[in-house]
Amino acid sequence: MDRRPPLVAGAMAVTAVAAVLLAAYLQIRLPADWAPDPPLSPDHPAGLAFPVVGALLIHRRPDLNLGWLMCAGGLLAAFAMLTQSLMLHLAADGALDAAGVVRWISVCCWSVGGALMAIILPVYAPTGRLPSPRWRWLVVAGVTVAISQAIVRVVRPDPPLAGYAFPEVIPNALQIRSFTAVGLVGDILIWMVNACVVAALVSLALRLRGADPVTRRQIAWPLAAFAIYVVFLLLGEDFWLFATIWTGLIPAAIVFSVLRYRLFGIDTVISRAVVVTGLLAIISAVYFGVGALAGLIVAEQHQIAGLVAALFAGAFFQPLRRSLQRAVDRVMYGPVGDPGLLAQRLTHEVRRADPADALAAVVSVVRDGLAVDGVAVNVPEGLPAHVQSGDPGPGARVIPLVWHGEPVGSLHIGRPGARRFAAAHDERVVRTLLPYVADVAHAVRMAADLQRSRERILAAREEERRRLRRDLHDGLGQTLSGMAMTINIARINLHRSPDDADVLLADLRTGMDAVTGGLRELVYGLRPPALDELGLAGAIGELAGADPATTVTVEGELADLPAAVEVAAYRIAQEALTNARRHAGAESIAIHLARDEGLRLTITDDGRGIAPEHRPGVGLASMRERAAELGGACVISSGGRGTVVEARLPVMAASAG
């Protein structure tokens, strides 16, 4: 980076500030009859603020010509103030001819510097480029008028002492005595300067209409700043103090715009300024109107008239403020300006819609509120998984949807439509509506999970029925049929061949033992008998066996747990123990059962843990599914050494089911 431009700009800023301070010092030391009236002018803050801000811009954006325009204009304004103070000092000391020479420098600096800051700078703000080549005429006109104004002031004839602002006339060595129309020409040039200033403001306003949302907000800062300055300028010398103060704020607006600092705050400034101004104007009109009317009716009771006027003005204040705010919001943001109203509408639409249509209601309300080409919501595990209104387009803005720290989907926002200040309004709308959208996305995911869980339960139930039918028909049924045939044969042989009958009855006994074992396995598959015989804690203790490295601890009462909760906890513990012993090579395992609002089961081992690249198998998935079927959750975590399985099973939900 070339360090010369920032150094040059810094030197210009330091020179300008020093010139203004020296001018103020010289002005303070002037005799009272030679002191300027008013004591301050817009050139004082211009000489201080514009070069400093311009140097800052050159340091941050050396490629932007706005900084050089601000430095040059501010430096000329500072020299105009310094040379004016020096001129008055020389005149007060009697050096009138020298004061006349210094005056030429002062008027030239004042004219050219004013044109740079009030005409050229607004045309190039905030991007450093002309709105279009057609606006070059304004640059040429501004420079021409400024130079013409300086020439007219340099060659003007000496004015008469009567009506002169100072005790003696400062002579002009370059005066053209025959130039008697100097007053008329000067007034015309002032009007031409004002016209150029207004045209520069119009160029900003026209650029605002066709800009994208971010550039539109960049333009809004200098547009608002220059617009207020132009109002003070056109109101005349009576508003010199307001114009002086406001001139110092214009560079701040430009730096906000160029550096995009607090870019989204301009609409709030404009909105509140318009509302406050409207309130002041209308309430004042109501107050004075009612006061005048009441004064006519009760002419001798001025206090009553004032009280009536105040009451009327107060009664109109709040409704008027709401109406003005709605009107300003509609002008600045479109049909919907209040994000709170959008949130209410979104809540109302979601409550009216079916769960499957909730996302459609969300994207419709969000699109209306943002006034964009399209809005879409993606919920990867939801039903539906994707809903959109309009076409967000390939360059859509993607915002993650997070529900209590859990990612649940994404919101896709398309390009904004035609709105004056979409960016900040859209940010407020997004911040307001995003929690509602995340809630709906989470609800859609939960509904999809519930539907899938129901489908799994139905599938599992039908699969279990098929297994039972197969086991009963193919296994137990065939065995019982064979046993019936054996009994018949044994009865036939009982008297004729007792030995053969005894062999058949022995085989029958063996078959009955097999049937008993099959029935036991069948019953165990439906519900482990240990749960009924020993309870949940005892059944899990039986799973642990006599291994001293496996401990089981219980906290709370487990006697009244629902059957579904007991089975789920037992199966989860069984699977976790199998994984710890068979796959993880754990040396110690701790099982903890705790009963509070629900049941919490924790199995901790010191095994090898789960490798990051390991893909979850059927066992891990079955533990999660058993917990999810009851509305609970099963979390399996591993830090590289050891594994923790924590299952939370809601008791009330299981009981209600």
Domain ranges of the chain: 4-261, 271-330, 339-447, 534-656
CB 522 within 8 A of CB 468: yes
d(CA 574, CA 580) in angstroms, rounded, equals 10
pLDDT at 653: 43
CATH of domain 339-447: 3.30.450.40
**612 has a pLDDT exceeding 70:** no
**549 has a pLDDT exceeding 50:** yes
Question: What CATH topology corresponds to 534-656?
Answer: Heat Shock Protein 90 (3.30.565)
Tell me what percent of the residues of the chain surpass a pLDDT of 70: 76
End-to-end CA distance of the chain: 72
Residue-wise pLDDT tens digits, 232-279: 877 777 777 888 888 888 887 777 777 654 444 445 555 555 555 555
The mean pLDDT value of the chain amounts to 78
pLDDT at 104: 92
Higher pLDDT, 558 or 481: 558
pLDDT at 654: 42
d(CA 129, CA 123) in angstroms, rounded, equals 8
With the CA atoms of 618, 621, 622 and 623 taken in that order, what torsion angle do they form, in degrees rounded to the nearest 10?
A: 130
With the CA atoms of 424, 427, 432 and 433 taken in that order, what torsion angle do they form, in degrees rounded to the nearest 10?
A: 130
One-letter-per-residue 3-state SS of 51-105: HHHHHHHHHHCCCCCHHHHHHHHHHHHHHHHHHHHHHHHHHHCCCHHHHHHHHHH
Alpha-carbon 471 to chain mean position: 61
Residue-wise pLDDT tens digits, 297-317: 554 555 555 555 556 555 666
